[in-house]
Chains A and B, each alone.
Chain A
Amino acid sequence: MTFLQIIFLLFAAVILGSALMVVTTRNMIHAALWLIAALFGVAAVYALLNAGFLAVVQVVVYIGAIAILFIFAVMLTRREMRDKGPQLNKNWWMAALISVVTFGGLFGLLSNWAGFSKTAAEIPAGLDAVEQLGIALVSPDAYVLPFEVASILLLAALIGAVYVAFNKE
């Protein structure tokens, strides 16, 4: 087992453990903080896969913006930070069954896939992944259309938010 594999297993354990804590903890703020831990673990996995750009964007977007807005909303809206109701309802075994079946199915599918046991190809020296990504996002042969559609969607959402919040008085 290489050093990288040990680190990967460590972070995988952190992600799974924190994700479990998000749904089991009764304190809303703790749930949000465990979510941040899980998202941070995902960023670390991206970094292990040589996707530095994605790792940093993961931290900026998910931890810097979304998770902090979560915490903000929870702190502003809930007087009582504790969830008192039962955490399971009578359908819990259905949910457990579906997740086990899904996990088993995916695991079976992936273990038969040839790419599962391959090691990643070496990235050639001098290749700037960020530059390649940037070119791909604005190149007509690659992803310019999805990129622009996403931009227009976000712009529409922004204008909509301003319109909803706008006070005519």
Chain B
Amino acid sequence: MTFWTDPINFVADWLMGVFTGWGMAEGLAGVLIALIGIFALVTFAMLLDILLVWVERKVVARFQDRLGPNRVGPFGIFQPFADIVKLLIKEDITPIGADKIIYNLAPIFSLMSVLLLWAILPFAPKIFGVDLNVGLLYIVAAGAIGTLSIIMAGWASNNKYALMGAFRTVAQMISYEIPMVVALLIPTLLAGTMGVNGIVESQGIWFVVLSPLGALIFVISAIAELGRSPFDLNEAESEIVAGFHIEYTGMKFGLFYAGELLHAFTFGGFISVLFFGGYRFFGLENFGPIVAAVIFLLKALFFYWVIMWVKYTVPRVRIDHMLAFNWKFLTPLAFVLLMVTALVSKLLAGASAGWHAAGLFLANVVVGWLTIEILKAHARRQREREETPAQPAVQAAQH
């Protein structure tokens, strides 16, 4: 075992040797090394987060035909540090009537819910926090804590707009959790495990080929879960000012902002893990864990870019459209797709991997085509209803 084949265990063993050399008990040293590991992972995530601030600002500028930050450092890359200094020296305001403890806990929970997800992100075959056999459920559980943090922020701020934002968030997150869980079940079904490492390992053929619709549903519900445009109703500036984080200033707002960016990046990572082969890239991952980790981070950045692309090109939807889209379209489609995938996958269980993939792909195409036909028929019926003259009953009421 060298550093290049198994870096995490190599460093852990080396540290273990150092600590026991100092006369420390092995159990205590193990706990200490685990703590150091957590600290290193969180530090890496937060350092990446600083970079993400720059990436986000640069990309949004390009989408809006601007230059973005370009004054501090080359390409403005040190702009986030100036931002951090600004956030740190801002006045820290707690509104009158705010529930102080909950008000201060909310941003911490918000960032925590994201950092929890990093525990199961598989960067490379041997670089991951923990290989949880219920990994996918864990993603949903961490999302629950994120929802909780937004409710806490909205309620504790003692502000009507903040509370409205919190209400909207709950309605949205509880609704979109359903298609998301169903979409998560599709990779579970195809891989036969809920652990993210097992899912990556079983993707000889990327799951996006086996289930393109499942990937699409997951991306849509992930964007809704992130609360990014077109689903950013919880902070709709033109309606409820800034939603749940309206009263937060300085670094407390910074924590929400950092949490949002890191959340988007993390979900980019999960999109790549669940449907796009994670750290696998046509055998390139066999060159060692470092290469695999770089592949994974690049894929995560790409899907982060996709999420930004959607955010800055699609306008915000109205709240009733948002709910109708989920309950009348996405949820039924996700359930039908899950059943079809289960059935076809079972029928083709004996076939070779190629036929299995082709059959599943075809099933997805059929489901997609049927969906479009049903939508077209529905739209036609609605149009005909609107084109027919007003009902006699309405005219009678007018007289």
Taking Cβ atoms with an 8 Å cutoff, the residues of A that contact B are 2-3, 29-30, 33, 36, 52-53, 56-57, 59-60, 63-65, 67-68, 71-72, 75-76, 128-130
Contact = CB atoms under 8 A, between A and B. Distances in A.
Interface string B125-142: 000000011100110110
A65 B27 CA distance: 37
Nearest to A54: B134
Contacts of B155: 29, 71, 75
Contacts of B163: 75
Interface of B: 27, 31, 99, 102, 132-134, 137-138, 140-141, 143-145, 147-148, 151-152, 155, 163, 167, 170, 174, 177, 194
Contact of A63 (B137, B144, B174): B144
Given A68-B170, A72-B170, A130-B194, A59 B31 contact: no
A128 B174 contact: no
Contact of B143 (A57, A64, A71): A64
Nearest to B141: A59
Contact of B134 (A56, A65, A76): A56
Given A3-B31, A63-B144, A68-B144, 16 more contacts: A2-B27, A29-B99, A29-B102, A53-B133, A53-B137, A56-B141, A59-B145, A60-B141, A63-B141, A64-B140, A64-B177, A67-B148, A68-B174, A71-B151, A71-B155, A75-B155
A60 B147 contact: no
B140 A60 contact: yes
Nearest to B163: A75
A42 to B, nearest CB: 13
A36 B163 CA distance: 20
A68 B166 CA distance: 11
Nearest to A52: B134
A52 B137 CA distance: 10
Contacts of A52: 132-134
Q: Is the interface of B mostly helix, strand, loop or mixed?
A: helix
A52 B140 CA distance: 14
A33 B151 CA distance: 11
Given A33-B152, A64-B140, A130 B133 contact: yes
A76 B163 CA distance: 10
B137 A68 contact: no
Contacts of A60: 137, 140-141, 144
Contacts of B141: 56, 59-60, 63-64
A54 to B, nearest CB: 9
Give the most central of A64, A65, A67: most B CB within 10 Å: A64
Contacts of B167: 72, 75-76
A57 B167 CA distance: 24
A128 to B, nearest CB: 6
Contacts of A65: 144, 174
B174 A56 contact: no
A129 B137 contact: no
Contacts of A36: 148
Given A57-B137, A130-B194, A68 B143 contact: no
Contacts of A129: 133
23 contacts: A2-B27, A29-B99, A29-B102, A30-B102, A33-B152, A53-B137, A57-B137, A60-B140, A60-B141, A60-B144, A63-B141, A63-B145, A64-B147, A65-B144, A65-B174, A67-B148, A68-B147, A68-B170, A72-B151, A72-B170, A75-B155, A128-B133, A130-B194
